[in-house]
Homo-oligomer: A and B are copies of this chain.
């Protein structure tokens, strides 16, 4: 069994959620759009899940639009707002997730203008830069709460205040923060919020877009008119129920889980900091700036692909990920680290460890020891002039 430290890619579904989903599937066979009794029962399950998700973000249940994940939610938010307005301008950030960046490129090919703000060396974008980028026809500012590669946290409340002041809708990708950081759509002035279940103990393939009432949005999947015509397609009752269950569980643990993860991550960093020349790409010093579950490091003088393969295939095997598994020479290293000003070589030699509720101190120690050993092995294999960190 590999030591699993890739919870930001997908974290195991919680046993309570699996059980709840099984019960829902066994008991509720109907389509929640149906008028009959089994249909209404299914509808009640969906309503309960909406209440649980909404409670975790300080929202009203009726404003939740269920989707197949954060990717679809982000596509719906950005395309939906721009289609509603018939085009215009969007402000976003260079270090966003591909779901945002690729959707914005698609919109650009259709005449939408996009400003991609840069970030500082820590990966943060400045609220004043957002304010400066807003134009007369800016329809939407789209910013992620927690970066999936580095864990850096954007100051959404400050950016939200700027957007509110300029009357521009703020879309936030909260795929990595739901259940880990406080989220409050009112306090943070959020207008659209994209969520994913499988990053926080719910099932893969379930997500939601929360939409502030009166924000104009054009549907992106057409058909039966489900969800008030905002997203057609038969609702996946068990998926939605699983997401709701995960949110209820997360809410009960919001006081304890972040601190637990933060302590484990701090421990991991201590154990890795002894590696000669290692760089930390996550804001580990300031607990406000970094999400509790992500630690991203670069190991200069070691080839990124070799380090990753060594860890993935060695014994004990680790399950971690790279900002990018591609080589620096091919200029395909992490766009996030490069936006932060890292050199291609440093960006290419990056590793992301991401922790979850089930991560133990033992996992952390084994993973750190294994990483140290692998780095030492690869450095010993390398020609002399590289044996000292670059």
Residues of A participating in the B interface, judged by any CB pair closer than 8 Å: 2, 4, 6, 9-13, 15, 17-18, 21-22, 25-26, 29-31, 33-39, 67-72, 74-75, 97-100, 102-103, 105-106, 196, 198, 203-206, 220-225, 232-239, 308, 312, 317-321, 325
A239 lies within 8 A of B205 (CB): yes
Q: B residues within 8 A CB of A18?
A: 22, 25-26
Closest to A237 in B: B204
- Which residues of chain B have C-beta atoms less than 8 A from A35's C-beta? 308, 312, 321, 325
Contact indicator B205/A99 (Cβ below 8 Å): no
Residue from A39, A238, A317 having most chain B Cβ neighbours under 10 A: A238
Residues of B within 8 A of A26 (CB): 13, 15, 18
Q: A74 CA to B223 CA in the complex, in Å?
A: 9
Do A233 and B6 touch (CB < 8 A)?
no
A112 CB to nearest chain B CB (Å): 13
Contacts A36-B319, A97-B223, A319-B37 given; indicate if A236 touches B30 (C-beta within 8 A): no
A35-B312, A36-B312 are contacts. A238–B103 as well, Cβ < 8 Å? Answer: no
Q: What residues on B are CB-neighbors of A2 within 8 Å?
A: 36-38
When C-beta atoms are compared, the residue in chain B nearest to A39 turns out to be B319
In angstroms, how far is the closest chain B Cβ from the Cβ of A356?
9
Q: With A98-B225, A223-B71 given, is the CB distance from A34 to B319 under 8 Å?
A: yes
Tell me if B10 and A72 are in contact (CB < 8 A): no
A357 to B26 Cα, complex, angstroms? 15
How many of these chains are in the complex? 2
Residues in B neighbouring A30, C-beta threshold 8 A: 4, 6, 9-10, 319
Q: Can you name 18 A-B pairs with beta carbons within 8 Å?
A: A2-B37, A2-B38, A6-B30, A6-B39, A9-B34, A13-B25, A13-B29, A34-B319, A35-B312, A36-B318, A68-B236, A75-B222, A97-B223, A98-B223, A98-B224, A98-B232, A106-B222, A220-B220
A36, B75: Cβ atoms under 8 Å?
no
* A252 CA / B92 CA spacing, docked (Å): 51
Distance of A99 Cα from B233 Cα, bound (Å): 8
* Complex: A185 Cα to B196 Cα, angstroms: 35
Measured in the bound complex, the distance between the Cα atoms of B26 and A206 in whole Å is 17
State A141–B30 Cα separation when bound (angstroms): 31
Known: A6-B30, A35-B308. 19 other contacts (CB 8 A): A4-B29, A10-B30, A18-B25, A35-B321, A36-B318, A36-B321, A37-B319, A39-B319, A68-B72, A68-B233, A71-B232, A75-B221, A97-B223, A99-B224, A198-B236, A204-B238, A205-B235, A206-B236, A220-B220
Contacts of A198 in B (CB 8 A): 31, 234, 236
Decide if A11 touches B37 in the complex (CB within 8 Å): no
CB distance from A75 to the nearest CB of B (A): 5
A232 to B, closest residue via Cβ: B71
Chain B residues with CB under 8 Å of A319's CB are 30, 34, 36-39
Q: Chain B residue with minimal CB distance to A38?
A: B319
Report which of B4, B68, B98 forms a contact with A205, defined as CB distance below 8 A: B68
